[in-house]
Structure 1
């Protein structure tokens, strides 16, 4: 169970988050605060695992509030302004949600928190191919390529697996060292050599960067 705290000065935004949290059994809402000052008072008495934190608030911004915490819970920033994303990543935020965001997008962010909690114990993923369950370490994977109803898993030393899976599901299961660059590709940042134009270079492969993914890629690498 993940104990979470909502901090947002907009009543409607708090209501949306409260509703989303209530729909996920893995989350337990401890409190919902209208500003950072109220939240500070609460955190002096209680501890939480995760904060859904609005960035643009009166008195004290979400960024400055989070910087002020001596003990920092995991944080997912919520904002109406995409240009805040870079600073959020610099603070090692789990994710940022651009308002208005869907329940599906909310779940994706929460999945990153749940995965992160187990990463220290698990550095692998189980993938089914050739009627066998393969234990594949994350650092062995160079990139994923969608091919029709299947996904080709590219591994080190030019090995591959063909699995009956979707990139969308895989994206929610992978740790933060992976990023989707195209509707048909997810790449490992550990194996990335460089970006050039609209392509990412991994080994001999040149992976396309789709137009709808370009801004996210640029934000992650602070270009």
Structure 2
């Protein structure tokens, strides 16, 4: 790889940066953000927003999101976190709420810095956070209201043991694995507890059906 074709690390921007032509500002980056990224209930942006919400809870939102990294959040000296999202309500007109499922497929890895690919298909995070936008009224739907989200936290080793080759998991199937259910205030503690190397995490055997009774 030549030096001119190396990685382009994203730098955090403020929104004040101009779109310019020959030194004259023609618009602002904030305007682009508002134009392109206001549809927060859509599947693509909702997923990115869920990652940001989890990063906020983990006090890891100061940097920038790295597209196509092998995990969603890397805590310095801490666990690797994968974030998945789902919602009952979509941007389009619906005859009924959507069924809830999350992607859990093992996958190959890619290093955004070196461009190198690891073809081994596995789950590379230490912890999965399943983010459910549980609100069911489109008139008051607000993905920025953290009270409209429920979070389910599960150590990756539980998925690897009970769903080793499964590509998706429904909410009911996820609940059978005894995840920790929490709102935003308890999310950081739940993730750090799930990542403890000396703990087995909550599992169907250790927690029983009563640990997973309430759905989102």
The TM-score with structure 2 as length reference comes to 0.29
The TM-score with structure 1 as length reference comes to 0.29
Q: Identify the structure with bigger relative contact order (alpha carbons < 8 Å, sequence gap 6+).
A: 2
Structure 1 or 2: larger helix share?
1
